[in-house]
Amino acid sequence: MRAHHPLVTTLSIVVLGGVSGCGDSKVERPAPTTPAVPTSTTPPAAAVPASWNDPKDLLRALKGALEAGDTARVLALYDDSDPAVAVKKRFWAALAEAFPAEGRVRAAYTKKFGQAGWDADDNPLRWGTGSDVGLASSFERLGEAFVDEENGTARVGIDKFVFRVSRRDGRCVAFREDTFGGNDDEVRVVVEGTARAKKILSAVDTSADVATFKKRFEEIRGQ
């Protein structure tokens, strides 16, 4: 076995290093590129109006928020200048749960027993379960409501409800309601009514016929 001379080994390393670098110790590297930001093809969500020309349009927006169970939207529409705003907001927060419960009961009843069954004079739910203090049925007559203007505030009466819609720079921006929700007992009535509406919904789903439902409805109402 031949021994390698140290000088020969060193020269081999130097020569090979020069070949591998092709005579240049610097290696060219491509400049870094910034990744392209993907462009979204989804259109932006439509902005929710914050004011309206017509007080009835504000109340229609309130109705839509109640139907959706959108508590935050309902409370954002309530007039913070109402002296009873704290308890009133608790009341309307409770209504934001009661209102869609009423809708689910009506939809279930109509699906189970037909539209004719819902429209029948002997339908015990024709005017609702009462959990929403009759607001849903009153809103159906919103278009017929008369509007009075009082010191920059629009007064809108619908059945037993009296709405006052306040304006800012000529635009309707908030509402308050004079008849309901002035104390915690009225808040409790709505909360308990919503729990009852959920029982009624279960009774609709599990009743084989209208007669069976009516019997169960009377039992729930008597609890």
Integer Cα distance of 108 and 208 in angstroms: 13
List, for residues 190-213, the tens digit of each pLDDT value: 999 999 999 999 999 999 999 999
Q: If you average pLDDT over every residue of the chain, what do you get?
A: 84
DSSP state of 143: G
Of 113 and 17, more confident:
113
Q: Where are the beta strands (DSSP E) in the chain?
A: 146-150, 153-158, 161-168, 171-177
pLDDT of residue 151: 84
The lowest-confidence range among 12-26, 61-75, 93-107, 172-186 is 12-26
Are 78 and 87 spatial neighbours (Cβ–Cβ below 8 Å)? no
Q: What is the mean pLDDT of residues 114-123?
A: 94
What is the predicted pLDDT for the residue at 9? 41
Per-residue confidence (pLDDT) for residue 23, from 0 to 100:
46
pLDDT per residue as tens digits for the range 46-78: 455 689 999 999 999 999 999 999 999 999 999
DSSP letters for 69-99 = T-HHHHHHHB-TT-TTHHHHHHHHHHHHHHH
* pLDDT (0 to 100) of residue 174: 98
Q: What mean pLDDT is predicted for residues 17-38?
A: 47
Tokens 């590297």 -> residue: 29
**How do residues 3-27 score in pLDDT, each as one tens digit?**
444 434 443 433 344 444 444 445 5
Q: What is the pLDDT of residues 125-141, one digit of tens each?
A: 988 898 999 999 899 99
Rg, C-alpha atoms of the chain: 35
pLDDT at 167 over 70: yes
Which range is least confidently modeled, 22-36, 39-53, 141-155?
Answer: 22-36
Is pLDDT of 150 > 60? yes
Amino acid sitting at position 38:
P
Percent of the chain with pLDDT over 70: 78
Alpha carbon 182 to its chain's center: 25
The span from the CA of 193 to the CA of 198, in Å, is: 9
Give residue 21's pLDDT: 44
Question: For position 32, what pLDDT does the model report?
Answer: 52
| pLDDT, position 11 | 32
Domain range list for the chain: 55-221
Residues in contact with 145: Cβ distance below 8 Å, sequence separation at least 6, in sequence order: 56, 156, 157, 158
pTM of this structure: 0.75
**Region 36-40: what's the mean pLDDT?**
41
* Contact indicator for 197, 101 with CB cutoff of 8 Å: yes
Phi, psi of 162 (to 5 degrees): -125, 105
